[in-house]
Chains A and B, each alone.
Chain A
C-alpha cells in the first residue's frame, strides 16, 4: 500500500506575532515552529494503518522553507518511511489553490492508495488544501474524520458534525482523508526512532518544478484585530491577584457567598 501524508509546519500559537514589513503576513523570525496539530493525527493514522496491513510505504511531504525539514524528521521518527521537502521560502504567500496544485502535481501518477492530511492548518485554517488535492487527483475525499478504517478496498469512517453528532461515511480507495482532532492518540517519537529517522531519505524538490497554477486569492493585508472587549486585565503578584479577583466576583456576581 502506498501512502502519502502532507504536513505543514506552523508557528507556536502562543507566540507574540508581529506583522512583516509588507503588511501581509507575520514576521517569521523569533518564532518557535512545530507540526500542525491536525497533521499529527494524519501521520499517526498512516502509521497505524501500516502497522495493520504490514506492507506499506509512507511518504511524508511538506511544502515550505528549509526549516520544515525539522518537522518532516519528526514525522519520520513517528514512523514515516521517506520524506519529500518541496522547497519554497515563499509558501506563506501562496493561496490554498496554489499549495494544493503543487501537492497534486507531485502526487499525480505516483499511485498513492491513501493520502492523509489535516482538516485544517492552525495558522491559515482554510480547511481547503486537502479537499482540493483530492478533487484535483479525482480520488474519493472524506473530511473531518474522527474514526478511520480501511480494508484495502474501501475506507469506512466517521466524520464529525456539530454538537456531538457524527456521520458514518465510506468510499472506495484511492482516497484522500482529512483528520480531525481526537482521531487517534499521536505517538511521541522514541529516542531509538529519532535516531533511525536520521538515516531516512529526504528528497528535495524545488517548488518551481511543481507549480503550474496561478493564485486565485490575493492577500491585501494582515493585522491584529482591534480589541473590542473592554475586559479588565489583571497582572502582578499571585496572592494579590487572587485577592483582587475575589473582590471583583463578590461585587459583580452572585455566586460567591
Chain B
C-alpha cells in the first residue's frame, strides 16, 4: 500500500493539517510520498520523498495547475491512494484529481477500518456511513482533527523539484482578510452562544441577557451571523473564531463539526436543545433538553438571584 499525501501551503506557511495526513498513512501502514506546492526554504518535517512545486511559479491556489502536477506524480509513483485534508483546498482539488485518475472518491473520512473500509459522517454527524472504494486507486479527504498529528518530527525530506505549466482556467487574484474583529471572544471566561434554534432575531436578547448575567460575552453560530443577526466577529467555528472559555453555553446549536472545531476545547460545555439526539450532546458536559425560549428566561433569573 502506497499513499501520495498532498500537503497544504497557504499565505507563506505549511498548514499543520499536512501532518494529519501522516497520522492517517501510519494508521493504514502505508508507504508514503508527498506533494507540496511550497517553498524550498520552508520544507515540511517529513522524512520521505517530497515532490515540490515552487509556489512562486505554480501559485498557492491553482486547482487546474495543481491537478496536472499531482497527476504527474501519480504517473511516476503509482500510489494506491491520494490523500488530502478536507479543507477549502482539499475539497476543491480532490474531486478534480479523482476524476482525472478514474478513482473512487471518499470525502471527510473520520476512521479507517479493516478490510479497506472507510467511515464518513452523514446528516450533520447524526449518522455514519461505512464505504468501500471499487477502484484500484482511491482519493480521500480527511476530516480536520480526525487523525491528530503526532508531535512534529525533526526530519527533512528528499526533494524532487517539479515545475510545469498546464492549462489554467481558474486564476487566484489574492487574499482578502475578514474585517477586524470588534470583540475578542478569546478573553471571555463565559460565552453564551446563539444558534439557529433562537428562531428569530428578537430572541437573541434571551442569550445576551444570560451572557450579561454571567459576566461573559455572547457569540453565535454561522446561520445567526449569515442572517445578519450578529456580527461576524462573534462567529465561533472554523470560519470564525476559536474559543476555549471556562463555560460555553450553546443555545439552539446542533453541533456541526465546523462549529465544534471552534469551541470543543472549552472547559465546561452546556447545551440547550429541544433535540435529544443533537450532535452537540456528544461533547456537552450537560445537555438540557428544553425549548430555549422557556428555559433561558427562567435560568437567567435564577443566575441573577444568585
Contact = CB atoms under 8 A, between A and B. Distances in A.
B39 interface: no
Interface stretch (B40-48, B68-76, B131-139): B131-139
Contacts of A126: 105, 107-108
A39 B216 CA distance: 36
Nearest to A170: B171
A120 to B, nearest CB: 8
Interface in B266-284: 267-270, 274-278, 281-284
Interface residues of B, number: 93
Given A123-B122, A245-B299, A141 B289 contact: no
A217 B105 contact: yes
Interface stretch (B22-30, B84-92, B198-206): B84-92
B96 A241 contact: no
A210 interface: no
A220 B289 contact: no
A10 to B, nearest CB: 8
Interface of A: 11, 13-14, 16-17, 19, 26, 95-97, 119-120, 122-128, 131-132, 135-136, 139-144, 158-172, 181-182, 185, 214-225, 227-229, 231-235, 238-239, 241-243, 245-246, 248-249, 252-256
Nearest to A122: B124
A222 B128 contact: yes
Contacts of A246: 299, 302-303
Given A131-B92, A225-B128, A227-B281, 7 more contacts: A125-B122, A126-B105, A182-B225, A216-B103, A223-B127, A229-B282, A242-B295
Nearest to B262: A163
B169 A224 contact: no
A254 B99 contact: no
Contact of B105 (A120, A128, A220, A227): A128
A181 B237 CA distance: 14
Given A13-B124, A131-B95, A169 B172 contact: yes
A241 B296 CA distance: 11
Nearest to B62: A169
A170 B276 contact: no
Contacts of A181: 222-223, 226
B121 interface: yes
A223 B106 contact: no
Contacts of B107: 96, 125-128
Nearest to B87: A162
A132 B120 CA distance: 19
Closest A-B pairs by Cβ, 3 of them: A216-B104, A164-B178, A182-B226
A218 B190 contact: no
B126 A224 contact: yes
B95 A217 contact: no
29 contacts: A19-B127, A96-B105, A97-B104, A127-B91, A139-B169, A140-B169, A141-B170, A161-B88, A165-B177, A166-B175, A166-B176, A168-B173, A169-B170, A181-B226, A217-B134, A218-B131, A218-B134, A220-B132, A223-B127, A224-B127, A224-B128, A229-B282, A231-B281, A231-B284, A238-B290, A246-B303, A248-B286, A254-B246, A255-B190
